[in-house]
Structure 1
C-alpha cells in the first residue's frame, strides 16, 4: 500500500517498529511515509473519531475503530477518487502487480538473484 500523500511504496522494514504511520481517510486505511510525516501536517487530513476526536483510527472488516477510546462504527466506502488518495504511479498489471511484488519479496527473503 502506498503513502496516501506522495504515493511512495513501503519497502521491507528493518527490525523494529516501522517508521510508517497508519490512519483512516474517507473510511479507508492509509499509510503515511516518514517523509510526509515531517513535511506535511498530515494528521489534519485524516478522519477523526466522532466520540473523542482522535485521529488514531484503524479500518478493518468494514468497521472503523478508534484506538484511543474503542468507539466503532461502520465504514462507508465511497469512490476512492473522492478520498484524494495518491496512487503509486505504477502501471497496473492484470493481477494488480501482486505477483511481481510477491516474487521480489520471496527473492529477498530466500536471498535469490533476480527472477529470469
Structure 2
C-alpha cells in the first residue's frame, strides 16, 4: 500500500542521492536509503521535514522522497511573483518579476561565454 507521509531526515547519502527517514508515529522505524526525485540535486538537512511516498510490501519499507515543503519550521524566504533558489547559507538566485530583475549572491560568481547587448 502506498501513502504520502511526513517524515524527518535522519541521515543523508550524498553520493547515492538518498536518505534515511523516520516517521514520528512509528517509534524506532527508519525507512533506509529512500531516493530523492532526480530533477535537481538539492539535499535537505538532517532533521528537516519532507514529504515521502511510503510503500510497504510485506515487511519491506521503501518509497521515495518528494522533498521538503513549507511549514512553520520552513517558511519561504522570498514571496511574491518570481523565483528564489537558496544554494547554500550564503548563496542564492532571486528573480523579482515585479522589477524584472535577477539577483545572484555568492562569494564568487564566474560567468563563461557571456554575450550581452
Which TM-score applies when normalising by structure 1? 0.25
- The answer to which structure, 1 or 2, has the higher relative contact order (CA under 8 A, 6+ apart) is 1
**Which TM-score applies when normalising by structure 2?**
0.25
Bigger helix share: 1
